[in-house]
Amino acid sequence: MSAETACEAMLARLVGFPTVSSASNLPLIDFAAEHLSAHGIASHRVPNADGSKTNLWATIGPDVPGGVVLSGHTDVVPTEGQVWDTDPFTLTKRGDRLYGRGTTDMKSFVAIALALAPEMAAAGLKRPIHLALSYDEEVGCLGAPAMIADMRNVIAPPRAVIVGEPTKMQVVTGHKGVMGLEVHVRGKPVHSSVVHEGVSAVMVAARLIGWLGERMERNRLAAATAGESLYDPPYTTLHCGRIEGGTAHNITAKDCRFTVDVRTLPGEQSADYLAEFAAFAARLEADMHRVDGGTGIDIVRRSDTPSCRREPAGEAEALARSLTGDNAEHVVAYGTEAGQFQDASFSTVVCGPGDMEQGHKPNEFIKLEQLAAGAAFQRRLIAQLAA
């Protein structure tokens, strides 16, 4: 069986596991562990608190310094509300495309690594390849930190980490950080004819959301005079993606809840934006308390994924460029687990098959040429580590 055929067959198996973030990834992990074990490769699990999900990592080759980590997440985004032409959890081949949820983001990279694991095991590696499969990347990169900490305590220091998110096999050395907030405004309901006696949670939420827009506009204006940037847009963004609240048009809202997404440029700190937002909320809350002390604003940070920063003379960048031949500079707008590896002192880049333009959409697909390019990349890595 050719590498491309093996990778396609493995991708079909992985797509068949509906590992949306709201569900368990254990069936996929069980399959991956059994597959690795069948080729003499031991694996290690790092589960979540209730054991419903788990990370999995494995070392192929000798446990010596200078290895390479191939990192991918196992969860996918939901398909509810999307209209698909095929079953999203059955790999479907049409022309030069393979359709299915996760084909691009990012089961193809994982499928290639698992399909080539027998070659890795038989290659006589002088330096190891470490596989790292995480859970809950799509809901805030929640699973990877525990796995990264476990690997750091166990394995010999690797040379590089390759996070295989879809980059069209370009070497990506930077991306924004992502912080997710949940905000609950607690008001006092009264009839709107005596609105001054109540506190509208919806009206307060509107002021908080307005602050987000005003703060982002300040960033946009600053970026306009700051010179060229690889990022698009070239500034930190603040966004409310979901809001709900109120009971009737003539009652001041008792509750309003909304979500906030802050995407910070490398070099900026999400904590600074949270502090500014919380300070503004505190001023509003003081006004609310003058009406009723039981009102308030609760801000919960549900996720905080660090940015990926370009490393001066980075080992991972040098390795990825040697394997791809790509010498251009690339950054992406979406977040990955790369910054979490960097924060643990691993040299890291993002490089994987597929185009994120297809990710998260109905009829998600990867082109066969991208699957082949990803397989060729990992085979060149095997050869280099065996040399």
Do 376 and 281 lie in a common domain?
Answer: no
Adjacency order of strands within the sheet including 68-73 = 43-47, 54-60, 129-134, 68-73, 160-163, 348-350
Do 163 and 190 lie in a common domain?
Answer: no
Q: Which of 305, 339, 363 is the last residue of a domain?
A: 305
CA distances from 41 to 44, 57, 59, 117, 147 (A): 10, 10, 7, 9, 18
CA distances from 206 to 192, 217, 258, 284, 285 (A): 17, 17, 10, 11, 14
Do 68 and 188 lie in a common domain?
Answer: no
Q: Is the omega angle on the peptide bond into residue 106 within 30 degrees of 0, that is, cis? A: yes
Tokens of 264: 């910070």
CB 318 within 8 A of CB 284: no
Q: What does the mean pLDDT of the chain come to?
A: 97
Question: Cα-flanking dihedrals φ and ψ of residue 46, to 5°?
Answer: -130, 95
Do 200 and 247 lie in a common domain?
Answer: yes
Confidence of residue 314 (pLDDT cuts 50, 70, 90): very high
What's residue 41's pLDDT?
98
CB 378 within 8 A of CB 117: no
Q: Quick one: how far is CA 312 from the chain centroid?
A: 24
Please tell me whether residue 163 adopts helix, strand or coil conformation.
Answer: strand
Do 64 and 42 lie in a common domain?
Answer: yes
Do 328 and 376 lie in a common domain?
Answer: yes
pTM above 0.85, yes or no: yes
Tokens of 379: 């085979």
Q: Quick one: how far is CA 324 from the chain centroid?
A: 23
Query: Which one, of 300, 310, 304, lies nearest residue 337 by Cα?
Result: 304
Please tell me whether residue 288 adopts helix, strand or coil conformation.
Answer: helix
Do 192 and 169 lie in a common domain?
Answer: no
Q: Which of 270, 305, 340 is the last residue of a domain?
A: 305
Question: pLDDT, tens digit, for every residue of 197-229?
Answer: 999 999 999 999 999 999 999 999 999 998 889
Do 198 and 49 lie in a common domain?
Answer: no
In the predicted model, what is the mean pLDDT of residues 117-142?
97
Please tell me whether residue 226 adopts helix, strand or coil conformation.
Answer: coil
What's residue 165's pLDDT?
98
Boundaries of domain holding 319 = 3-174+307-386
pLDDT exceeding 90 applies to what percent of the chain?
Answer: 97
Written as one letter, the residue type at 53 is: K
Find the range with the poorest average confidence among 3-12, 78-87, 112-121, 342-351: 3-12
Structural domains of the chain, count? 2
On the question of pLDDT at 333 being above 90, the answer is: no
Query: Which one, of 41, 58, 14, lies nearest residue 119 by Cα?
Result: 41
Confidence of residue 4 (pLDDT cuts 50, 70, 90): confident
Query: Which one, of 224, 243, 241, lies nearest residue 233 by Cα?
Result: 224
Do 227 and 169 lie in a common domain?
Answer: no
Question: pLDDT, tens digit, for every residue of 144-188?
Answer: 999 999 999 999 999 999 999 999 999 999 999 999 999 999 999
Q: Quick one: how far is CA 350 from the chain centroid?
A: 11
Do 296 and 333 lie in a common domain?
Answer: no
Helix axes 315-324, 368-386, angle to 10 degrees: 120
Confidence of residue 376 (pLDDT cuts 50, 70, 90): very high
Tokens of 39: 């080729």
CATH number at residue 50: 3.40.630.10
Do 182 and 123 lie in a common domain?
Answer: no
Q: Which of 305, 335, 361 is the last residue of a domain?
A: 305
In the predicted model, what is the mean pLDDT of residues 298-308?
96
Point out the residues that are catalytic.
Answer: 75, 137
Confidence of residue 10 (pLDDT cuts 50, 70, 90): very high
What's residue 1's pLDDT?
63
Written as one letter, the residue type at 21 is: S
Do 220 and 363 lie in a common domain?
Answer: no
Q: How far apart are CA 193 and CA 250, in angstroms?
A: 8
